[in-house]
Amino acid sequence: MTLTEPTDRGPAPLRAEALEQLLIERGLIDPNVMDAVIAEYETSIGPLNGAKVVARAWTDPAYRERLFDDATTAIRELGFSSTPGDEYIFVVESTPKIHNVVVCTLCSCYPWSVLGLPPNWYKDPAYRSRMVKEPRTVLSEMGLELADDVEIRVHDSNSEVRWLVLPERPAGTEGMSEDELVPLITRDAMVGVAKVKAP
């Protein structure tokens, strides 16, 4: 099984859409409130927050050290409050010789406050089981080829600890500002299934 974002609308999304429509028709939920909640997780509570954390760590050595010492507090410094379950976030740094990747083998624990909604593949049983056993193969299937001499470290999120990857800063971005770096940093890079690409 190759792990990619699904391109078709399978039974689960269709059921969710039907349920949402039924709840709206019966007046049990307000579609405007639903849209606002979804927008909040896609923009305000989402990958943009994590990208700002990474960009700050890349450009501010003092912040970077605070992030490694106490990521939860350092992330709050930027105004990103914890969502339930995100009380303890740890950050690990990928380097040219060490690549970090995050998984949750038991369910789909995920740092919503800095990465937003978890992607479907993160919750997929194949990703959750195979990433631990054969990370190089799974990463390759997801489009990330790593040299044989790169050590892969897999970090298992759980109900008490969430992980965030500080990806390698790509060459050629040394002169870029924090604001210029943010758009380059993707959710997948902060989970560890991709690298940040140079502009």
Write the DSSP symbol of residue 18: H
Nearest to 64 by CA among 55, 88, 89: 55
From the list 107, 129, 140, 159, the catalytic residue is 107
Residue 85 and residue 109 in contact, taking contact as beta carbons nearer than 8 Å: yes
- For the question of residue 104 being annotated catalytic, the response is yes
Q: What is the pLDDT along the chain (199 residues), one digit of tens a residue?
A: 445 444 444 566 688 788 888 888 998 889 888 888 777 666 666 799 999 999 999 999 999 999 999 999 999 999 887 666 556 899 999 999 999 999 999 888 888 889 988 898 999 999 999 999 999 999 999 999 999 999 999 999 988 899 999 999 999 999 999 999 999 999 999 999 999 999 9
From the list 94, 104, 113, 157, the catalytic residue is 104
- For the question of residue 107 being annotated catalytic, the response is yes
Q: Could you give the domains of the chain?
A: 10-44 (no CATH), 47-191 (3.90.330.10)
- 105 Cβ neighbours under 8 A, 6+ residues apart: 128, 129, 132, 156
Tokens (6 digits) for 61: 């050595």
From the list 94, 109, 113, 157, the catalytic residue is 109
- For the question of residue 81 being annotated catalytic, the response is no
- If DSSP codes are grouped into helix, strand and coil, which group holds residue 140? helix
